């Protein structure tokens, strides 16, 4: 009897380990704020933030969204198909938990520090999500939304920071390189992510330019916006210094 109990305990432990998507918080560096993703057991939490807090320091009740993870399945060596159910009620409606609250997200494992989201299939019923033929999903050549893990984000803060107009001009000049036009064309042809204001595209371009030039992408878009504003030089410097100072509390 004890052997059977041990077998099922280890089987459950094996499933728990292999179904872990985010072992630490992962961040998308947006043009303004950052978007953080973190898994806790079978729940995925998402929110926006301006600092690099560890998950334990974040009150999960303040998260903008949370989802039950129904399944995490490998598709080819580098892709994960994640089936989700939104657990957030919709206020000011009579249908707080609509029948089409289920979705499927496709993640690509880029390296030990980075995932990317290449596809979001939303507004599914439970039955449609469970029975969705994921083998038919196109995986190659999709535009990608990069997510970086917390430890890598903290390490990247050791890179140069955007603090001067010269820094901003250097990044803008880098963006004139034709290789970034390739990213834009790929976005136009293959983007499968909801991005009505092209915020993901804008962030992706600036983040890649920063990394190519040896700058940290964290706060770069924010700093460039301040540097291009009508504020006085001293005020600009104080705002940017304050932003970087508050990144890690």
Q: For 114-129, write each residue's pLDDT tens digit.
A: 999 999 999 999 999 9
| pLDDT in the model for residue 9 | 38
Q: What is the pLDDT of residues 190-245, one digit of tens each?
A: 999 999 999 999 999 999 999 999 999 999 999 999 999 999 999 999 999 999 99
The mean pLDDT of the chain is: 88
Helix (H), strand (E), coil (C) string for the chain: CHHHHHHHHHHHHHHHHHCCCCCCCEEEECCCCEEEEEEECCEEEEEEECCCCCHHHCCHHHCCEEEEEEEEEEECCCEEEEEEEECCCCCCCCCCCCCCCEEEEEEEEEECCEEEEEEEEEEECHHHHHHCCHHHCCCCCCCCEEEEEHHHHHHHCCCECCCCHHHHHHHHHHCCCHHHHHHHHHHHHHCCCCCCCCHHHHHHHHHHHHHHHCECCCCHHHHHHHHCCCCCHHHHHHHHHHHHHCCCC
Q: What is the pLDDT of residues 230-249, one digit of tens each?
A: 999 999 999 999 999 998 76
Band of residue 58 on the pLDDT scale cut at 50, 70, 90: low
| pLDDT in the model for residue 136 | 87
Q: What is the pLDDT of residues 74-100, one digit of tens each?
A: 988 899 999 999 998 877 777 788 999
Whole-structure pTM value = 0.86
| pLDDT in the model for residue 61 | 63
């Amino acid at each position: 009897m004890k052997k059977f109990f041990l077998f099922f305990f280890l089987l459950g432990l094996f499933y728990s380990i292999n179904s872990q998507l985010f072992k630490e918080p992962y961040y998308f560096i947006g043009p303004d704020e950052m978007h953080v993703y973190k898994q806790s057991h079978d729940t995925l939490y998402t929110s926006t933030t301006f600092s690099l807090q560890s998950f334990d320091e974040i009150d999960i009740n303040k998260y903008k969204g949370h989802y039950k993870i129904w399944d995490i399945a490998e598709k080819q060596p580098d892709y994960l198909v994640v089936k989700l159910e939104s657990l957030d009620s919709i206020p000011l409606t009579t249908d707080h938990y609509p029948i089409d609250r289920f979705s499927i997200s496709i993640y690509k494992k880029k390296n030990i520090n980075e995932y990317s989201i290449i596809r979001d299939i939303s507004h599914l019923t439970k039955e449609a999500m469970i029975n969705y033929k994921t083998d038919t999903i196109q995986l190659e050549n999709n535009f990608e939304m990069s997510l970086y893990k917390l430890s890598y984000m903290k390490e990247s803060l050791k890179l140069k920071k955007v603090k001067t107009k010269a820094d901003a001009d250097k990044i803008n000049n880098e963006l004139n390189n034709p290789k970034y036009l390739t990213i834009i064309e790929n976005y136009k042809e293959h983007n499968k992510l909801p991005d009505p204001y092209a915020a993901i595209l804008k962030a992706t371009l600036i983040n890649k330019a920063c990394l190519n030039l040896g700058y940290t992408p964290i706060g770069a878009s924010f700093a460039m916006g301040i540097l291009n504003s009508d504020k006085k030089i001293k005020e600009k410097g104080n705002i940017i210094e304050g932003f970087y100072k508050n990144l890690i509390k």
